[in-house]
Structure 1
Amino acid sequence: MTPMPDLFAVAADALNALTGQEARLYEPLLAALPVDGASVSTFGDILAAETISASDAQSFRLDELQFDLGEGPCWDALQTAAPVLEPDIRKRPNRTWPAFSEAILADDLGAVFAFPLILGPLRIGAIDLYTNRPYRLSSQSVQQISSLATVVSRLVLSRAIRLSHTEIENETDSATRQKFSRREIHQATGMVLAQLRIPAADALLVMQGHAFAAGRSMAEIAAEIIDRRLSFAVIESQIEGSHD
């Protein structure tokens, strides 16, 4: 008998296949998750507030409400770097979101969930999910969705860098200098890999995201890392300490 495919593994592969088609990121999420709607949004200190992908008008509305009000599950998820789970939002409105809770009273919502989009110390946005009836995610589902959120984080950050008009790589006319810069970037990537204990591809993406947010070149960022003037491990610990 052929074993059933792992829906979350299939979803991760499907998400990775959507590079350049990020508006469709909700599709693999809906296919794998027991929810009625999903959205992927960016906001916070690095990227502008934007709904990248939304499965329906309700999902888009939830994002817009939170952007406008500056409160809600996605904000809490990003600030705490942890999932926010409200299995029965109508019966037990969250008192820390008074305006948001009141705004959705007339909506046909049962449960609302938010998972942060984070890569290393970079806080990018959130995945928002909703169901029409009350629903409680299992601890295993929370772990699996968190893993999918990491995949989405890579895709969303890569999209922002790709679409940016800011020149991240400050290339020069000197082939020698360019080659030296590449060596520096490779060395710095190895240092970030060790600092954050993440794969090399993610370490490079963290550096690119930091350069993008700061409007600086990768060569400059790499030099600071090599000279130990920039440590993403220190940045990450400072962020975590500010939320204790």
Structure 2
Amino acid sequence: MDDSDLAGSLLAALPVSGVSVATMGGLLRTETVSASDPVAARLDELQFDLGEGPCWDAVSERRPVFEANLRIAPRRTWPAFSRALLDHDAVEALHAFPLLLGPLALGAMELWCDRPGDLPDASARRASALAGQVSRHLLRRAVSDVADDQAEEVRVDKYSRRRIHQATGIVLAQADLSAEDAELLLQGHAFAQGVPMREVADAVLDGRLSFASGADGIVER
């Protein structure tokens, strides 16, 4: 998956007018990673500047936000963002999908449509699946330096590597993830905290850190 045409490949798979992918929140810096067109990019920029909109809601609520008819019967209103949309009369519907991996919220994938209407169920399911793939891609990209450190660690400290494997087993049970995603989650937390992965693994094994799914997300004791 390549950032250069990430939005374009998503657009080709979904029945919408435009797509954007943005990182938002505390883990990754707030920015548009990819946009299929200027309208999609501008919708992201407005939400970054105003601090409100469907992408922010999707991230904070950890579930998709669907606005099938922004002009006549909006389900939600965002005071500043709704006013700004008046300058973009091509946008009739907006749908935002959170980019999540376990308890980590990375950002949002936004779909805009030039006609009002609900996103068909099959398309919504496909968009959710694609959002999961995008989440893994973004986190792998962000933790590439951590992964390099981890490779060095494998060469010099097999004991640390065993503890990482053990911690991965605990995390996959806590967060209901595959082994690959559980290890990626450990890497992401190490990246966010700026610490070696072995320290995160030790915290999990000692019971000081939990990735159990729930309202509180990652819990440190």
TM-score higher than 0.5: yes
Contact 2:53 2:81 in 1 (8 A): yes
**Secondary structure at the counterpart of residue 238 of structure 1:** coil
> 1:198 Cα shift?
0.8
Distance in 2 between residues matched to 1:120 and 1:131, nearest whole Å: 29
Runs (5+) with no aligned partner, structure 2: none
Distance in 2 between residues matched to 1:194 and 1:231, nearest whole Å: 11
Counterpart in 1 of 2:100?
Answer: 118
> 1:93 Cα shift?
4.4
Counterpart in 2 of 1:224?
Answer: 203
Counterpart in 2 of 1:80?
Answer: 61
**Secondary structure at the counterpart of residue 233 of structure 1:** coil
Change (3 A) 1:137 1:95: closer
Matches within 5 A, 1:63-102: 63-93=44-74, 95-102=76-83
Counterpart amino acid of residue 113 in structure 1 = H
> 1:143 Cα shift?
2.1
Counterpart amino acid of residue 123 in structure 1 = A
Contact 2:154 2:160 in 1 (8 A): no
> 1:166 Cα shift?
10
Counterpart in 2 of 1:7?
Answer: none
Change (3 A) 1:214 1:115: same
Change (3 A) 1:126 1:218: same
Runs (5+) with no aligned partner, structure 1: 1-17
Counterpart in 2 of 1:206?
Answer: 185
**Secondary structure at the counterpart of residue 216 of structure 2:** helix
Counterpart in 2 of 1:144?
Answer: 126
Contact 1:168 1:208 in 2 (8 A): no
> 1:92 Cα shift?
3.0
TM (norm. structure 2) is 0.91
**Secondary structure at the counterpart of residue 113 of structure 1:** strand
> 1:94 Cα shift?
5.6
> 1:140 Cα shift?
2.9
Distance in 1 between residues matched to 2:197 and 2:59, nearest whole Å: 26
Counterpart in 2 of 1:44?
Answer: 25
> 1:173 Cα shift?
11
Q: Deviations over 1:85-119 (max 9, x none)?
A: 00111223465411001001121111101000000
Counterpart amino acid of residue 99 in structure 1 = A
TM (norm. structure 1) is 0.83
Aligned length: 217
> 1:160 Cα shift?
1.5
Change (3 A) 1:239 1:181: closer
Change (3 A) 1:104 1:155: same
**Bigger mean CA deviation after superposition, 187-196 or 86-95:** 86-95
Matches within 5 A, 1:116-195: 116-162=98-144, 169=150, 175=156, 178-195=157-174
